[in-house]
Amino acid sequence: MSIALDRPRRITRLLVTGGAGFIGSNFVHRTLATRPDVRITVLDAMTYAANPANLAGLDAARVEVVEGSVCDAALVDRLVGELKSPGEDEGAAAVVHFAAESHNDNALRDPLRFVRTNTEGTAVLAGACVRHGVHLHHISTDEVFGDLPLRGSGQPGSEDRFTVATPYNPSSVYSASKASADHLVRAFVRSHGLSATISNCSNNYGPRQHPEKFLPRQITGLLDEETPRLYGTGENVRDWIHVDDHNDAVWAILDRGVAGETYLIGADGERSNLECVRALNLLFGRDADDFVHVTDRPGHDLRYAIDPSSVAALGWTPRYTDFAAGLAATVDWYRDNRAWWETSRKDAELIYRAAEKILD
């Protein structure tokens, strides 16, 4: 069976959950810039991870922002129901579900919050989409597959990448809650007739990412003349993709993805954390090896790597193929937007520094 629709959907109404966070707000901005006929309702609980500035000043005729939780069944039911207007094409409306607790380090401190939002919230949304006959695109992560051995380590699987056939094997409460959500979406498809697609993407970078995350933490630290901080040895590998490339792939799935299918999104961007920190130091004109090793993350996944052939089959290719250039542009964004990150960096560092020790 083909994994691409012959005739694209024509979506003009979206409910975007988590649209005030990093990837969701970039999705809203990119949609407004590239899809003039699309109107958006954002549903966001405005947790610490949301920044109101992310959606400030947008065209009110095209974007409505509703503050509330994906776990609020009555609110979700109303918003999904409102997506369908009489006379509009069947299939013109969809939900893109970004809302989640997204940070592994927080899942170590407060796991139940992750189960509620990521798992229960997805089931609430899926139920409303079934009732109103609206398509759901569920945004998931490559972390549901667990981790891979380092390339060249001689371990079985060390040359592999995750594919749509890779079994789920999550390591953290964050990734287990996302894996549960993926299973729930598939169960709603099979047993309740939900129309849904799922995408599992690798690590995103770009503007508006919270300074608790690896790259913005190091970038904002360097802007404050602090030394980069690597968990453990720094050998861990992530497969980096620019947030706009991720969101263009989501649109390729909304346009041409087949209901019931899963798509893996990645841009051949494997880099060790050590390589990232060295690249950042060089961008700041510093000695590449001027960083500190700090306490490692318990259960720290070693390597993620995505085989993107499922989403490439929809005609999508990444535009940001030069990681150094994408990183330099991201540094410029943080340099130009200090007011956006200063408070959230302070808050995140208070939590980090209380637990983290510099290793010898």
Q: Residues 162, 203: contact at Cβ < 8 Å?
A: no
User: Exactly one of 38, 96, 121, 146 binds ligand NAD (CB under 6 A); which one?
Assistant: 121
**Contacts to ligand NAD from residues 241-300, by CB under 6 A:** none
The answer to whether 235 is a known catalytic residue is no
The answer to whether 263 is a known catalytic residue is no
**Contacts to ligand NAD from residues 74-103, by CB under 6 A:** 98-102
Q: Residue 84 burial by CB count (10 A; 0-12/13-18/19+): exposed, middle or buried? A: middle
User: Exactly one of 203, 218, 220, 236 binds ligand NAD (CB under 6 A); which one?
Assistant: 203
The answer to whether 142 is a known catalytic residue is yes
User: Exactly one of 9, 103, 113, 116 binds ligand DAU (CB under 6 A); which one?
Assistant: 103
User: Shortest distance, CB of residue 276 to ligand NAD, whole angstroms?
Assistant: 13
Give the nearer residue to ligand DAU in terms of CB position, either 41 or 218: 218
Give the nearer residue to ligand NAD in terms of CB position, either 40 or 50: 50
Q: Residues 264, 306: contact at Cβ < 8 Å?
A: yes
Q: 265: closest CA among 207, 305, 300?
A: 305
* 204 counts as binding ligand NAD under rule CB under 6 A: yes
User: Exactly one of 26, 54, 102, 247 binds ligand DAU (CB under 6 A); which one?
Assistant: 102
Q: Residue 339 burial by CB count (10 A; 0-12/13-18/19+): exposed, middle or buried? A: exposed
- When CB distances to ligand NAD are compared, the closest residue is 21
Q: What binding mask, one character per residue, do residues 9-28 give for ligand NAD by CB under 6 A, x or -?
A: --------xx-xxxxx----
* 143 counts as binding ligand DAU under rule CB under 6 A: yes
Q: What binding mask, one character per residue, do residues 206-225 give for ligand DAU by CB under 6 A, x or -?
A: -------xx--x--------
Per DSSP bridges, beta strands 237-239 and 270-272 are: antiparallel
Of ligand DAU, ligand NAD, none, which one sits near residue 230, judging by CB under 5 to 8 A according to partner kind?
Answer: ligand DAU
- Phi first, then psi, for residue 85 (nearest 5°) are -105, 145
Candidate list 120, 142, 270, 301, residue with the active-site label: 142
Q: 40: closest CA among 90, 98, 86?
A: 98
Residues that bind ligand DAU in the complex, under the rule CB under 6 A: 102-104, 141-143, 202-203, 213-214, 217, 229-231, 236, 238, 273, 297, 304
